[in-house]
Amino acid sequence: MNHTHDKEDSCCIKKHAEKEHIHSHSHEEGEEHDHNHGGDPSAFKTYLPALVTFTMLLIGIAFDNIFKVEAFALVRPYWYIIAYLPVGIPVLQEVWETFKAKDFFTEFSLMSIATIGAFCIGQYPEGVTVMLFYTIGELFQMVAVNRAKRNIKALLDVRADIANVFRKGKYETVKPEAVEIGETIQIKAGEKIPLDGELIAEKSSFNTAALTGESKPKTINKGETVLAGMLNLDKVIEIKVTKAFADSALSRILEMVQNATTRKAKTELFIRKFAKIYTPIVFFLALALVTIPILILGSDYNFQTWLYRSLVFLVISCPCALVISIPLGYFGGIGAASANGILFKGSNFLDLITKLNTVVMDKTGTLTKGVFKVQKVESNIDEKEFLNFLTAVEAKSTHPIAKAIVEYAGEKEIHPAENIEEIAGMGLKGIVNGKEILAGNVKLLEKYKIDFDSKIKDIEESIVVLAIDGKFAGYVLIADEIKEDSAEAIKQLHLNGVKQVVMLSGDKASIVKKVAGILRIDSYYGDLLPEDKVAKLEEIKKDKTKIVAFVGDGINDTPVLAISDIGIAMGAMGSDAAIETADVVIQTDQPSKIATAIKIGKATKNVVIQNIVLAFAVKALVLILGAGGIATMWEAVFADVGVAFLAILNAVRIQKMKF
């Protein structure tokens, strides 16, 4: 990233951070100026102003204190002024810009007053040093910001720039945005998938790390979904596009991550407001420090001494360490989560997840794989006819059980279904070959008062019953598997401060009980309609001491995700509606990642608190010493830039942690 206005120093970095939604100083939103302040940390010219100033400062100090060249005294003020300009001019330009925006009390103005004041009383090396180290601190901030964003920015690298689409008997290269739903695209081995679609080839192996954080290749078979951002590993394949570019999984992820930095945690918002009040208070205290002693000391008052103390006070009290490191800490947390396949839609949720004490979970697709297979068919009529009627209705549904039935039926003839109606939480109703068909659970039969063998209710596994023209025709038995990490997920939740884990499911109570027993879930409820889940969650939330997360993946989970304190969606298998509604998205579909999200939230909060305590403690100590004349400008530099540097290093630490 290049500086387009020749401001290649620290202040530009701060402005660049603002444009990336890391508000690192006291400007209000909307007061940014039209400067393209970027900064490539590898670009030499970014560091050149600081290097020139540093070299000249060392030479000046050597002539002053080591070589003691008499002739240097004649040019001494001019030497240090020239040394000051490379790092000082951009800061002074920022002061001018902020003054035009009627924002008079910023760290830019504090640094400018302090350094120019030092020059006025002949403290040239100190004045140059303060501005130099301020610039170096900002350079470290730039490097830290770029490091924190690396995991998130990596998502942009997996977005394909082109798509090879089949048109007019040949493949032509176009932008992914130009491809329409239903068209066929070709992807060669080693190429990225540009759009979501259905695999036409028999099977292929894909690297899904960009979407899920998992490095292990995934084999996808013909007819299954492949997502934009996956990397084709095997051979040349063809895909039938099922979603427009803007609606693809990768585009959705990028949008969520970009929006995440705009939702601020309470601590972050407080610090920004605090800086707006704190900075002018500091300025007037510094003014008081240079004027009030006149009234007390009278003729013993030495203007130069008290002005120096006042300038030291200004340098020490600059709020950089707070306003830089706190947003950077939260941004680092979002980046660390992204690297682990977890997307937080805002730093406010990083904060909230640390207080989580109750987790309510859906069963199918969340704790179980949601990959159903037909185990058994029991029918009172010909099995082929039974499956034809059942499949005709279920083909209209996107539910995993419906897909399992259609897959099991295979190439069997499917009658056209008409007037399909979904009975919420029960099943489907439709007309097939002039006959009224009901397909769903036992509740559906009871609703329409259809006689059936009551022994069906005792079957623990999931079943789908079928009724034709008001008569029970049979059922299919469906099996689902518990995810490999579900038991560990529940264990880790309890170890990380979650006192109660609840499972809510629309599945049969007997199955829910069995799964809850295996996973050691605290409480569970089965046979729930979508509105029942909402009622249960509202009942749980009546206890105001509970911070409740709901974890789900289906369209029917959307209302519950919306009313929970934190909505967590399974992103790989989850419905678009669930992902859009949720506050946190688990891209790997692993329930164990919920505990990982809690750990990342706690680590981020600890870093933020450590930075606040460090900044206040050191600044308070040096402020007192500075006002008493004990601390010099050198100690002031450490209190400002040194603390900011330590806080930045601490914030970057989140990226290195193992969760």
Active site residues: 362
Radius of gyration of the chain (CA): 32
Question: Between the CA of residue 221 and those of 67, 201, 372, 402, what are the distances in Å?
Answer: 78, 8, 16, 19
Which of 200, 326, 331, 199 has its CA nearest to residue 260? 331
| Inter-residue contact 253 to 155 (CB < 8 Å) | yes
* Partners of residue 203 on adjacent β-strands: 221
User: What is the residue-wise DSSP string for 504-534?
Assistant: E-SS-HHHHHHHHHHHT-SEEE-S--HHHHH
Q: Give 648's contacts (C-beta < 8 A, 6+ positions apart).
A: 137, 140, 141, 144, 324, 325, 328
Residues in Cβ contact with 459 at an 8 Å cutoff, skipping those fewer than 6 apart: 477, 508, 510
Q: Closest Cα to residue 405, out of 435, 384, 378, 374?
A: 374
- Compute the distance between CA of residue 208 and CA of residue 193 in angstroms, rounded to an integer: 10
- Cα separation values, 268 from 157, 356, 609, 612, Å: 29, 20, 11, 11
Would strands 584-586 and 342-344 be described as parallel, antiparallel, or unpaired?
Answer: antiparallel
Alpha-carbon distance values, 328 to 144, 295, 616 (Å): 8, 44, 17
On whether the CB atoms of residues 347 and 334 are closer than 8 A, the answer is yes
Long-range contacts of 308-312 (CB under 8 A, 24+ apart): 308/118, 308/121, 308/123, 308/633, 309/626, 309/627, 309/629, 310/117, 310/286, 311/113, 311/114, 311/117, 311/118, 311/121, 311/123, 311/286, 311/633, 312/114, 312/626, 312/631, 312/632, 312/633, 312/635, 312/636
Closest by Cα among 42, 285, 275 to 146 = 42
